[in-house]
């Protein structure tokens, strides 16, 4: 995990659509992640249309991402949430399931999914990563999304797509 925000990529090009899928649980922190990501995207990708889908908790994020990708898919999805560890292993199990599902969806659909569903030990860590300025994962997610949009646009310009490969489950 990085200790500082990555550099700011800038996307210049056609209008793009980005979707943020964020949990409502731990609302103070997830709202801050969303606000920071949207603010940073507006600066980095000013021509982007950002759609927001809110789900009850982190566990519901992958199925919502899958549903978004089954429709007119955005160029990139940002998954935002916060899981606070408790006295049981529940948080670790949810975090692992979400991570695995998001990676599988990204590969399956051939779309970047930026994973910032955070697993933290306490509210101090949550504050630092969601609200604070130095480790802000909402801003980091937007920067990663902008970088991936740029990379995928460059791939589209320089390499033709394989028409025999399908990224949809229904193919």
Catalytic one of 15, 90, 161, 167: 90
Written as one string, the DSSP assignment of 50-73 is EEEEEESSGGGHHHHHHHHHHSS-
Spatial separation of the C-alpha atoms in residues 105 and 116, rounded to whole Å = 15
Spatial separation of the C-alpha atoms in residues 102 and 28, rounded to whole Å = 23
Spatial separation of the C-alpha atoms in residues 68 and 155, rounded to whole Å = 23
Q: Is 90 a catalytic residue?
A: yes
- CA dist 12 to 45, 55, 147, 150, Å? 7, 31, 11, 8
Maximum distance among all alpha carbons in the chain?
51
Closest CA to 3 of 135, 141, 136, 123: 135
Catalytic positions: 90
């Amino acid at each position: 995990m990085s200790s500082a925000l990555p550099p700011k990529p800038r996307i210049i090009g056609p209008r793009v659509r980005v979707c943020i899928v964020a949990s409502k649980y731990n609302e103070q922190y997830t709202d801050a992640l969303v606000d920071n990501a949207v603010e940073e995207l507006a600066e980095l990708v000013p021509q982007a249309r950002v759609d927001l889908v809110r789900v009850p908790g982190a566990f519901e994020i992958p199925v919502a991402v899958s549903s978004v990708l089954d429709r007119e898919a955005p160029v990139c999805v940002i998954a935002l949430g916060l899981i606070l560890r408790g006295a049981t292993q529940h948080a670790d199990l949810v975090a692992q399931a979400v991570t695995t599902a998001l990676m599988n969806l990204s590969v399956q659909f051939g779309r970047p999914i930026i994973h910032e569903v955070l697993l933290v030990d306490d509210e101090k860590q949550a504050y630092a990563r969601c609200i604070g300025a130095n480790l802000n994962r909402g801003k980091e997610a937007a920067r990663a999304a902008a970088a991936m949009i740029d990379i995928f646009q460059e791939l589209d310009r320089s390499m033709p797509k394989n028409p025999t490969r399908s990224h949809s489950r229904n193919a």
